[in-house]
Amino acid sequence: MSPRGPHKMRLVANQVTRLICRRYATTFGIYPLIEYPKCGGTWLCRMLADTMQLPFAQFSSLPVAMPSIVHGHWGYHKGYKNVTFLMRDGRDVMVSFYFHYARDYKNPRHAYARKAFTHLYGDSPDLSDVRANLPRFIEHLSKDPVGAPADWSTYHDRWTDKPGVVYTRYEALRADCVAEMTRIAGEHGFSPEPWRVERAVEGNSMERTAGRKPGQEDRSSFIRKGVVGDWKNHFSEDSLRVFAELCGQTLVRLGYEDSPDWRDWDATPGRDPHAGPDAEPDGPGDTPATPEHSEATP
């Protein structure tokens, strides 16, 4: 079998699993975790599986029709049941996606990254100049979404405020993971013992899965940094302007900003984005994005 064979089998299996979940998720006891890419879905799936005592059907080459946690970047369909939908600040998503592309740029198996970056920045791009590169990259992802059927803004607009969906945020998991995992499991009808939830969180911590503490960056790793708010270290004023034009209304509607005025505040590292346009930066250098807890996240 060619190297592409297993990959194609997984794609077909995922498509069939998606159709199964539209009609039989409750019958089979399937719990889909749905997210826009780079929101921390794999991490949450593993914790859900451990908390709810279900297998996580990751990289399955066959369709899934059994009690399990499944993971997808699927578009909204009213037939889906038992869904947990994971959200994340789109600015952090853009930064995480950029570093994902940059990591794959030199890998011949991931031609999409080289093709995209060559198109955006030329044959020999300086991928370390993140602040200069991000504005065009954000525009690119908006026009040509990868791994999802729509851009970040449209995807969330289609999925939010749907009946029967259990919603959570990457930021809530970072703030108090045990409490949030207990809430999610409870909304799905599970009553896990506290020790089980704590063990699920600890067992999938960044220290356990990556051997690093949150905030200790490894740009070559799928689990790069594991923090909230890293966008403040990498967004320039041009990045703020582009993201605001493309996704600003959704950012406010989801509660990540209180007012559309956020787009007028400069991106000086260290500035609290909620403090207003006259707030002073915390100090020179990069903003210390908040690791808060030790769960493994991209």
State the Cα–Cα distance between residues 98 and 102, nearest whole angstrom. Answer: 6
State the Cα–Cα distance between residues 16 and 5, nearest whole angstrom. Answer: 17
**pLDDT tens digit sequence for 82-136:** 999 999 999 999 999 998 888 877 777 777 788 888 888 888 888 889 999 999 9
Whether residues 20 and 114 share a domain: the answer is no
Closest C-alpha among 59, 55, 10 to residue 31: 55
The arithmetic mean of pLDDT across residues 12-23, rounded, is 94
Among the three residues 183, 207, 231, which one is the final residue of a domain in this structure? 207
Number of domains in the chain: 2
**pLDDT tens digit sequence for 173-188:** 999 999 999 999 999 9
**pLDDT surpasses 80 at 77:** yes
Closest C-alpha among 159, 32, 22, 143 to residue 83: 32
**pLDDT tens digit sequence for 262-288:** 766 544 444 444 333 333 333 333 333
The arithmetic mean of pLDDT across residues 164-168, rounded, is 97
The arithmetic mean of pLDDT across residues 24-39, rounded, is 96
Whether residues 32 and 66 share a domain: the answer is yes
pTM greater than 0.85 (yes/no): no
Residue in the structure block whose two tokens are 């869904």: 83
**pLDDT surpasses 60 at 296:** no
- The pLDDT value given to residue 209: 56
How far from each other are the two terminal CA atoms of the chain, in whole angstroms? 32
Residue 159: which CATH number? 3.40.50.300
70 strand-pairing partners: 32
State the Cα–Cα distance between residues 59 and 212, nearest whole angstrom. Answer: 25
The residue range of the domain holding 122 is 90-145+212-264
Distance of CA 27 to the CA centre of its chain: 28
Whether residues 158 and 192 share a domain: the answer is yes
Are 163 and 78 in contact by the 8 Å Cβ rule? The answer is no
Q: Name the average pLDDT for the chain.
A: 82
Percent of the chain with pLDDT over 90: 59
**pLDDT surpasses 60 at 153:** yes
CA gyration radius, the chain: 19
Whether residues 51 and 104 share a domain: the answer is no
Order the strands of the 30-35 sheet from edge to edge.
68-72, 30-35, 84-87, 166-169
Query: 23 by DSSP, 3-state: which?
Result: helix
**pLDDT tens digit sequence for 196-225:** 999 999 998 656 555 545 554 444 444 545
Percent of the chain with pLDDT over 70: 79
Whether residues 81 and 219 share a domain: the answer is no
In a domain, 85, yes or no: yes
Whether residues 12 and 131 share a domain: the answer is no
Whether residues 20 and 75 share a domain: the answer is yes
Are 145 and 151 in contact by the 8 Å Cβ rule? The answer is yes
Whether residues 237 and 106 share a domain: the answer is yes
